[in-house]
Structure 1
Amino acid sequence: MTARDTAQMAGILCNDPGFHAFVAERTGQPCQDADTAARFLRAECGVRSRRELNTDPAAREAFDRLRTEVDAFTGKIPKPR
């Protein structure tokens, strides 16, 4: 994934019901829409806009870690031991 694709991937992730379930599990609050998911993602990555994921290396790294956690949660990859 190139740097400029990160914000687009974040937008796609925020519309994913599996991510909504992850957010609900993590926060203990319902997450049934992309806006709620986007607020969570921005907070987790330390950005005010998902576009910042394209230019801020630390935010992009945080997004990559978050995606790995989501992939493990949804069963796309094995959970770490």
Structure 2
Amino acid sequence: MSAAARQRLSDMQPAQQAGILCNDPIFQRFAAVRSGLPGHQFNASAAGEYLRGVCQITSRTTLNTSKPAQAQFAALRTEFDAWSGRIAQQR
């Protein structure tokens, strides 16, 4: 796939972003750690359950229409990006 054909994650709908994140092994590990299970690895389904719980939704598609859920998802993405070293953590 060419660089021009690839869509940036931040340009996608929130529900699509959430689906991609839940399939990311690093996010799955993050979700396990945040769930109090350090040393464990969630699968995509468990990561999705974690995400829905944090965002207080029953379906990821709700992320496309609910402003409160979008705010929770944005905060979760920021926490994940900091945890994974993708952005600098605040001191």
Fold equivalence (TM over 0.5): yes
User: Would you identify which runs of 4 or more consecutive aligned residues in structure 1 move more than 4 Å?
Assistant: none
> Which has more radius of gyration?
2
Contact 1:15–1:34 (Cα < 8 Å) also in 2: yes
Q: Which runs of 5+ in 2 are unaligned?
A: 1-9
Deviation at 1:7, TM superposition (A): 0.1
Partner of 1:57: 67
Normalising by structure 2, we get a TM-score of 0.82
Q: Which runs of 5+ in 1 are unaligned?
A: none
Aligned-pair Cα RMSD in Å: 1.4
Using CA pairs under 8 Å that are at least 6 residues apart, name the structure with larger relative contact order, 1 or 2: 1
1:7 to 12, 15, 26: 15
Normalising by structure 1, we get a TM-score of 0.91
Partner of 2:56: 46
| Count of paired positions | 80
Give the structure with the larger helix fraction.
Answer: 1
